[in-house]
């Protein structure tokens, strides 16, 4: 029940800031994610002190890697590529994905110095749960807007 309350509060606050710019929205969503993870992992003060610097560094590197991957995909119109260029793009995408897994593995090892493997496993689940709940809320909001504009 506590989890649902936290997620509901997050989602409601996330959409109350619709008019804010992307940077403010990103900061607000990140704050909500931090609160969600902190609550759900139930870390001690010592664990949190060791965990957050490692996790934040990992999250920054992961975000940069994702941005590069998105740029790579967006800067290539598949229809206009030659077969050779498409093969190079496929290899680049796979390489980025492999690097993402390697980054996650490296930071998982670092996280083990701050929190237990059980909490790391729970973290992986919580990250996905947070993203899924956010996406579900966005879809519902878009559907409501679409219905309202159709009327």
Which tens digit of pLDDT belongs to each residue from 104-130? 999 999 999 999 999 999 999 999 999
Average pLDDT of 87-115?
94
Q: Mean of the per-residue pLDDT values for the chain?
A: 85
Q: Average pLDDT of 80-84? A: 91
**Half-sphere exposure in the Cβ direction for 46 (13 Å, CA):** 4
**Above 50 in pLDDT, residue 84?**
yes
Per-residue pLDDT for 41 more than 70? yes
Q: What is the pLDDT of residue 151?
A: 66
pLDDT at site 9: 46
Q: What is the C-alpha to C-alpha distance for residues 89 and 93, in angstroms, rounded to an integer?
A: 6
CB 111 within 8 A of CB 51: yes
């Amino acid at each position: 029940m506590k989890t649902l309350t936290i997620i509901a509060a997050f989602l409601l606050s996330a959409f109350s800031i619709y008019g804010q710019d992307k940077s403010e929205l990103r900061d607000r969503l990140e704050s909500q994610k931090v609160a969600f993870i902190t609550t759900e992992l139930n870390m001690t003060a010592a664990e949190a002190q060791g965990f957050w610097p490692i996790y934040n560094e990992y999250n920054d590197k992961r975000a940069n890697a994702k941005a590069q991957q998105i740029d790579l995909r967006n800067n290539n119109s598949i229809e206009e590529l030659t077969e050779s260029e498409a093969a190079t793009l496929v290899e680049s995408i796979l390489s980025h994905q492999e690097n993402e897994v390697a980054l996650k593995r490296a930071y998982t090892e670092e996280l083990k110095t701050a929190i237990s493997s059980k909490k790391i496993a729970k973290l992986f689940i919580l990250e996905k749960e947070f993203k899924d709940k956010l996406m579900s809320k966005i879809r519902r909001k878009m559907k409501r807007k679409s219905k309202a504009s159709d009327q």
